[in-house]
Amino acid sequence: MSLLNIVILAAGKGKRMNSDKPKVLHPLAGYPLLQHVLDTAIQFAPDKTCVVYGHGGEAVPQAMAKYAASFVLQEQQLGTGHAVQQALPHLDGDLTLVLYGDVPLIQSATLEKMFAQPDALTLLTIHLANPSGYGRIVRDATGNICCIVEEKDATDEQRAIREINTGIIAAPTKLLGEWLARLKNQNAQGEYYLTDIVAMAVEQGITVHTVHPKHEWEVIGINSKVQLAELERIWQHEQARELLVKGVTLADPARIDVRGKLECGRDVQIDVGCIFEGKVYLGDGVRVGAYSIIKNSQIATGTYIEPYSYFDQAKVGENCRIGPYARLRPGSNLHQDVHIGNFVEVKNSEIAAGSKANHLSYVGDSSIGSRVNIGAGTITCNYDGANKHRTIIEDDAFIGSNTQLVAPVKIGRGATIGAGSTITRDAPENTLTLTRAKQITVPGWQRPVKTVKGVK
């Protein structure tokens, strides 16, 4: 491929979004619209990527700072042609591809076809049953493109044309610069239309080539929250369909949200209402219970996640049982056959094979050995108000219910901690350690009675 520039137009205010946030930063499938476009663009390793932004000040370049792109401010929004003009000083490749920050689902396979004729002007067009709102592709009697007419400037006959301009083009950079310099704003909107370059190319005898996307949703643009919600459902349906084709069992394909990349092994089962964010891997035979949320996590073969569980940057080994209502926070690393039960929270902790925390416990900043039993209501007190400290529980230890382990502390191999204890010093292995005050009964004590207002 010739040296490639990619220009992404992202300056639109999006008045119909009714939001102070720039339109291109509104999320689709968990990521800003513009990020989807940039992620597709970088697959082609362009020599220059230029994002033209406008409304929202520096919010757009700040939000996309991780990308190796030039960000160019279009102070006045005078049309798509004017926007590309702002990018021209930053371009030096042979071919320039123009994309849109509010058309997030354009696919790389479609764009690849646009590079087939680098010496031509290539347009991405599509036939729509309802072309309202789009510029029309006007062809002559032999089928060659004559020009593009925006709907506000079109005649009734031209409005009846169903082939529309998506706005996405690829053009030789040198010719693009020449055409942009000749643009005029003598039209219904008083703007400099990028589409006017088509007539200039035809006049010069430059071939105008067209390609078409495989899916209509690839070229849907976003101008309102209604359109955003509709495209979200379309995209989630496509992702659900892809999972089904790969053999994943979905209890209801209409009730799953994939906001990133979900990779599944064989015979994975996913119940209703589950959300997957970032990069998630589910191994063979994993079952995910209803309304669970899994972010940037790896779940190994045979693990069962019961309903309403929450994972964030967790790694879970084979044949574990998690939930219901369990929370695994960043740094949780569970080995095989670990049980984490209802209302148990784990953070920045490693739990070795066969250990269990089945009820109402907090395990934070801890190293847990194998075959450890953590009783209900156990808390690792890892924070002293200024610093975090680590708890170590060695193999085969038994932690009684309602125990507080005040870190830093170590529970030795095979040790037993009596229920209701507060452990502040290391507990030796293979012994019983407990801390309890002597139980007493207070004769004559009466429980306070609630005072009723106005009654003495």
453 occurs within a structural domain: no
Based on the fold, state whether residues 249 and 183 are members of the same structural domain: no
Whether residue 1 is predicted with pLDDT greater than 70 in this model: the reply is no
- Domain boundary residue, one of 219, 253, 283: 219
pLDDT grade for 12, boundaries at 50, 70 and 90: confident
Both tokens assigned to 33: 């619209």
Rg (CA), the chain: 31
Instruction: Identify the pLDDT of residue 265.
Output: 98
449 occurs within a structural domain: no
pLDDT grade for 189, boundaries at 50, 70 and 90: confident
pLDDT grade for 436, boundaries at 50, 70 and 90: confident
Please answer whether residues 72 and 31 qualify as being in contact, where contact means their C-beta atoms are separated by less than 8 angstroms. no
Higher-confidence residue of 122 and 189: namely 122
Based on the fold, state whether residues 22 and 161 are members of the same structural domain: yes
Both tokens assigned to 436: 């309890």
pLDDT grade for 456, boundaries at 50, 70 and 90: low
Rounded CA gap, 338 and 406, in Å? 23
Instruction: Identify the pLDDT of residue 446.
Output: 84
Residue 29 Rama label (left phi>0; alpha psi -120 to 50; beta) = left
Rounded CA gap, 306 and 367, in Å? 24
Angle CA 176–142–172, to nearest 5: 15
- Domain boundary residue, one of 189, 219, 249: 219
Both tokens assigned to 352: 């070795």
Based on the fold, state whether residues 65 and 90 are members of the same structural domain: yes
Instruction: Identify the pLDDT of residue 13.
Output: 78
Lookup result for tokens 């507990």: 427
Based on the fold, state whether residues 208 and 244 are members of the same structural domain: no
Number of domains in the chain: 2
Average the pLDDT over each of 14-23, 357-366, 405-414, 425-434 and give the range with the smallest value. Answer: 14-23
Q: Report the pLDDT averaged over residues 297-325.
A: 98
Please answer whether residues 170 and 96 qualify as being in contact, where contact means their C-beta atoms are separated by less than 8 angstroms. yes
Q: Which of 181, 37, 169, 175 is nearest to 97 (CA)?
A: 169
Q: Report the pLDDT averaged over residues 236-262.
A: 97
Based on the fold, state whether residues 109 and 49 are members of the same structural domain: yes
pLDDT grade for 267, boundaries at 50, 70 and 90: very high
HSE at residue 117, side-chain half, CA atoms within 13 A, is 12
Q: Which residues of 76-111 are buried (b: 16+ CB within 10 A; e: fewer)?
A: eebbbbbbbbbbbebbebebbbbbbbbbbbbeeebb
451 occurs within a structural domain: no
Helix (H, G, I), strand (E, B) or coil at 200: helix
| C-beta pairs of 310-319 under 8 Å, 24+ apart in sequence | 314/346, 317/353, 318/283
Catalytic residues: 359
Could you report the per-residue pLDDT of 94-135, keeping only the tens digit for each? Answer: 999 999 999 999 999 999 999 988 899 999 999 999 998 889
167 occurs within a structural domain: yes
374 phi/psi in degrees, rounded to 5? -105, 115
Based on the fold, state whether residues 311 and 286 are members of the same structural domain: yes
Rounded CA gap, 135 and 163, in Å? 9
400 occurs within a structural domain: yes
Q: Report the pLDDT averaged over residues 182-204.
A: 90
Based on the fold, state whether residues 116 and 62 are members of the same structural domain: yes
pTM: 0.90
pLDDT grade for 212, boundaries at 50, 70 and 90: very high
440 occurs within a structural domain: no
Q: Could you tell me which residues come within 8 angstroms of residue 186 by beta carbon, excluding any fewer than 6 positions away? A: none
Instruction: Give the residue numbers spanning the domain of 200.
Output: 4-219
- Domain boundary residue, one of 191, 219, 247: 219
Please answer whether residues 379 and 359 qualify as being in contact, where contact means their C-beta atoms are separated by less than 8 angstroms. no
Whether residue 453 is predicted with pLDDT greater than 90 in this model: the reply is no
Looking at residue 388, the DSSP 8-state letter turns out to be B
Q: Report the pLDDT averaged over residues 210-229.
A: 95
Could you report the per-residue pLDDT of 341-358, keeping only the tens digit for each? Answer: 999 999 999 999 999 999
Based on the fold, state whether residues 14 and 120 are members of the same structural domain: yes
Percentage of the chain beyond pLDDT 90 is 85
Based on the fold, state whether residues 51 and 145 are members of the same structural domain: yes
450 occurs within a structural domain: no
Please answer whether residues 330 and 313 qualify as being in contact, where contact means their C-beta atoms are separated by less than 8 angstroms. yes
Could you report the per-residue pLDDT of 28-42, keeping only the tens digit for each? Answer: 999 999 999 999 999
Based on the fold, state whether residues 256 and 209 are members of the same structural domain: no
Q: Report the pLDDT averaged over residues 294-321.
A: 98
Secondary element (H or E) of residue 237: helix 225-245
Based on the fold, state whether residues 124 and 256 are members of the same structural domain: no
Could you report the per-residue pLDDT of 123-173, keeping only the tens digit for each? Answer: 999 999 999 888 999 999 999 999 999 888 899 999 999 999 999 999 999
Secondary element (H or E) of residue 156: helix 156-159
Mean pLDDT computed over every residue of the chain? 94
Please answer whether residues 237 and 216 qualify as being in contact, where contact means their C-beta atoms are separated by less than 8 angstroms. no
- State the chain's maximal CA–CA distance in angstroms: 106
Instruction: Identify the pLDDT of residue 186.
Output: 87
Instruction: Identify the pLDDT of residue 133.
Output: 84
Whether residue 314 is predicted with pLDDT greater than 80 in this model: the reply is yes
Whether residue 86 is predicted with pLDDT greater than 90 in this model: the reply is yes
Amino acid at 328: L
Length of the chain: 456
Whether residue 2 is predicted with pLDDT greater than 70 in this model: the reply is no
Instruction: Identify the pLDDT of residue 296.
Output: 98
Based on the fold, state whether residues 276 and 385 are members of the same structural domain: yes
Looking at residue 427, the DSSP 8-state letter turns out to be B
Average the pLDDT over each of 40-44, 190-194, 367-371 and give the range with the smallest value. Answer: 190-194
